[in-house]
Amino acid sequence: MAKVHPDDAARPGVTGVEEEEHPKPAESTALTVWRKSLLFNCDGFTVFDARGGLAFRVDCYGTSGSRRRHAEAVVLMDAAGVPLITVRRRRLSLAEHWVVYDGDGGEGDHAPRPLLSVRRCHARLLRHAHSSSPSKQKALAHITSLSPALPGAYVVEGSYAQRSVAVRDAQGEAVAEMRRKESPVGDEVFRLVVSDPRRLGAPLAMGIVIALDEMFGGRTGGASAARSLLRRSWSM
């Protein structure tokens, strides 16, 4: 199997928000994302940390019957299979809209705790996507915080098909970036760099990646043009 993991990174918490009396300078987190599940007959993502260890995973497969209760959600898990965040499609919306929830998204008796809203930018809205951003790249989506622990709003710019994407804050600073990676499996493998994990944790950054994959993943025309995970997902 081809080596796909990065050479340097560290794994942050879910939200990435930390309060310190004497905060240390931010250290970026670099992960390698593989658009493939390691489980047989599954679709999803496998994410490696700096040491080549498994950091996160998404394992989805065709569902029927009672398992279709998860058909509108994709769950990002840690290496042990513990749910970290859940990405759900927002129905009855005029635009393509996804919401990122904490944990398993409120399964059972627990109320869902929303963290982020990711809404696709349509062509007629691109010119107004982020007036304060100095970047001239195409805006792909708006991100709005739904939690007091994650203040602010972001815009996603670039090209998902080219694996060249930046998540920028209101000042135009990139808080997370997707970058192409030289790999024998092509665009299936790319780097995810979180510039300050205390502002936006790597799990939330992966939640944004999952939403972008739902919006644009089937339009690449290559090997990565996979079917929607949300239409047939059930995570163990």
The tens digit of pLDDT for each residue in 113-155 reads 999 999 999 764 544 444 445 555 789 999 999 998 888 899 9
Q: Could you write out the three-class secondary structure of 189-208?
A: EEEEEECCCCCCCHHHHHHH
Q: Which range, 21-30, 106-115, 162-171, has the best average confidence (pLDDT)?
A: 162-171
pLDDT band at 66 (very low <50, low <70, confident <90, very high): very low
The tens digit of pLDDT for each residue in 6-34 reads 544 444 456 655 544 555 666 889 999 99
User: For the whole model, what pTM was predicted?
Assistant: 0.79
